[in-house]
Structures are given as structure tokens and as C-alpha cells.
Amino acid sequence: MPCAGSGGGVKGRGQRAAAGPGAAQAQRPAGDGSMEERKDSAEPAVTTTEEDEEEEEEEGGGLAERFLQLEKEHNALLRELPPFGAPVSHVYSPLDYAWEPHRDFVRRYCRGPKRVLFLGMNPGPFGMAQTGVPFGETRHVREWLGVSGEVGKPPSEHPKRPVLGLTCKRAEVSGTRFWGLVRTLCPDPHVFFRHCFVHNHCPLLFLAPSGRNLAPSELPPAQRVQLMGLCDRALARAVGLLGVRMVVGVGRFAEQRARRALAAAGVTVRIEGFPHPSPRSARANKGWEEQARARLGELGVLELFREGGGSPGGGRDGSEPPLVIKEEVEED
């Protein structure tokens, strides 16, 4: 997610390019982002049985590998993009140099279909850029999620944003807030991930010459459009693969991108917004946890944080039309 900063060059080889998805080399162009207004949906949660959940777990044997393959293919396309120009000086692709912990994260927690997908914007410099895990503040990644793996270096590293991996001592505020709340509400991570997953719309981190983290919206328009187009299509594929029924955009940008991407792909799922925990947000610095808890309650997601909880966004009783993805997606 785009909060804190992000550092890096693009490809992900450096010391160790763990056989990860193609490193996103030099910068990649991005996609524009005008979106539709958010429409609140007050759909009631639909309960599911333990038998339903067990069936889903059994199906998940190869789901993690298919998801990882999708990410590799997406990164291969990102590598084809031309280098980004000003204001970008460095691009980090953690799915390359931090592929090992990322793969561990996916294999541990993406073993079955997901009813809810929490969608972030792109990596932060002290979160996913260090650990390969979305909102990946190192302490929670190591101690609560139990993720491990070797982290290398991006080919071009910004001196003010070194990649230290799972030993990084600087905490990312967004990740600390996000995973801290989830951990408080759901002490066992396996219960949270039974129905939910966390993913980023864009896997690249962009840095300015000063080391400041650049959000995708700050990229040059032409490059942004290209980048966002690729990321939109990858998101639609991920939602279809995981059987997602509701996408929760963490922050306005992620919510709007989800609306745009899934509408263009012909994917019918519920899309909602969720307050971003970034310290850049004045609102988030004034009681973010209370706001977030309240929003989760409104969305009916808190129920999923309990063993055998229900499922927002539709059930298996035919109350919601099947998710459909068109074979071809129009260019932005």
C-alpha cells in the first residue's frame, strides 16, 4: 500500500532474485484513474456452513500456486514497460527480490477461495518493500503471520530507502495499524485468512530523488495509464481466480481502481471502501482504529473474523449471480 515511502530500483535481482515473478524493471507506465462514485451497498451477510468451508479448503491445494503464477505473468508484462521518467528516480519490485517471503505468505494463507479481498494501492518503503507482504510491517509479518524467506536487494537501491528485509527495524505506520487491528480482532491469522485475503493493485514502489514515496497517481499521465491498465487486468484475474465476492478498497484510490477495473472486465462483485491507515491522512491520525472497526461492522466483515462466521457479498444459495470475466478487456 502506498503509505509510508518506498524505495527501489525495479528488477529485483540484486543479491538474490529468488525465482520470483519477473522483476519489474525500470519503471512502468501507469493507468489513469477517473472512477465512478462509490455506491453504498447494504447487503446482509450470508452465513455458510462448516461443510462449505471444508470443501473450499480442499479445493485450495493448487490455488496458491495458480495465484503465484498469475503474479509472475503480471510482473513479466510490467517488465516490458519502458523506464519511468521524472519524478521517478527508483522503482522497487518486491515480488522479485522479496519473492521468497511473498511466496511463503501466499502458500500459507491463500489455500482456499476468498469471500473478501482487502485491496491496497502499492508497496510502502517500510512494509511490502521490505517483506514482500502487503502492508507488511516486519514485526507482524515475522511474529504473527509467521512468514519467512530470504530478501535480496533491488538492482538500484535508493541510499535513503535501503532494503533490509525481515530485519528492518523501522515500522511502517500503515502496516502496523492495519495488521494490528486485524490481529486484535482475530488473534489467529488462519481464521482471518479463511475468508479474507490482502493484495495490492500495483506491485511496484516508486521513489522520488529525495527518497519520498510516490503514489501511482503522481506518475506522468501516459505512463500511469499504461501501468494501471496492466494492473487492472491482473486484478480482474485475481478476483476471478479467488472467487471473491466483495472487494474492500483500502483508501479511495484502491476502491476507485477496483470499480474501474472490474467494470471494464465485466466482473460483478460488491465493491466497498475502507479508511486508509496512512499517517498522511489527517482522518487516519484521528482515531483510525475506531473508524475501521465501525466500517468493518457496516460491511458485515466482522462476522468473518469468528470461527464459522458468515459471508458478506452473497452466498452459495444463488442469491448473487456468478462472477463472469470477459475474455478480452478494452484498453484504458
The predicted structure's pLDDT at residue 160:
96
pLDDT digits (tens, 9 = 90+) for 114-134: 999 999 999 999 999 999 999
pLDDT above 50 for 174: yes
pLDDT above 90 for 104: yes
Radius of gyration of the chain from Cα atoms?
A: 18
C-alpha distances in Å from residue 271, one per residue of 24, 34, 38, 103, 290: 28, 16, 8, 27, 21
The predicted structure's pLDDT at residue 38:
39
Please give the single-letter amino acid code of residue 80.
E
The predicted structure's pLDDT at residue 5:
36
The pLDDT of 92-106, averaged and rounded, is 98
Residues above pLDDT 90, as percent of the chain: 70
CA 246 to chain CA centroid, nearest Å: 14
pLDDT above 50 for 281: yes
Confidence of residue 275 (pLDDT cuts 50, 70, 90): very high
Torsion angle of C-alpha atoms 223, 228, 233, 236, degrees rounded to 10: 180
C-alpha distances in Å from residue 297, one per residue of 76, 120, 302: 39, 19, 6
Distance from C-alpha of 123 to C-alpha of 39, rounded to nearest angstrom: 27
The predicted structure's pLDDT at residue 61:
55
Count CB neighbours of 329 within 10 A. 17
The predicted structure's pLDDT at residue 285:
87
pLDDT above 70 for 304: yes
DSSP 330: -
Q: What is the pTM of this model?
A: 0.77
Per DSSP bridges, beta strands 116-120 and 246-250 are: parallel
More confident residue, 260 or 40: 260
pLDDT digits (tens, 9 = 90+) for 37-63: 334 444 444 344 444 444 444 444 599
Output b/e per residue, 11-36; b: 16+ Cβ within 10 A: bbbbebbbebbbbbbbbbbbbbbebe
The pLDDT of 129-156, averaged and rounded, is 97
254 and 217 in contact (C-beta within 8 Å)?
no
The predicted structure's pLDDT at residue 308:
58
pLDDT above 90 for 192: yes
* Phi and psi at residue 213, to the nearest 5°: -75, 130
Count CB neighbours of 86 within 10 A. 8
Name residue, grid cell 451497498.
41
The predicted structure's pLDDT at residue 279:
87
What DSSP line would sit under 216-264, residue for residue? GGGS-HHHHHHHHHHHHHHHHHHHHHHT-SEEEEESHHHHHHHHHHHHH
The predicted structure's pLDDT at residue 48:
45
Handedness of CA 261, 266, 267, 270 (dihedral sign): positive
3-state helix, strand, coil in the chain (%, to 5): 40, 10, 50
Average confidence score pLDDT of the chain:
81
pLDDT digits (tens, 9 = 90+) for 236-253: 999 999 999 999 999 999
pLDDT above 60 for 300: yes
Count CB neighbours of 50 within 10 A. 9
pLDDT above 50 for 95: yes
8 and 161 in contact (C-beta within 8 Å)?
yes
The predicted structure's pLDDT at residue 32:
39
The pLDDT of 267-296, averaged and rounded, is 92
More confident residue, 329 or 34: 34
pLDDT above 70 for 328: no
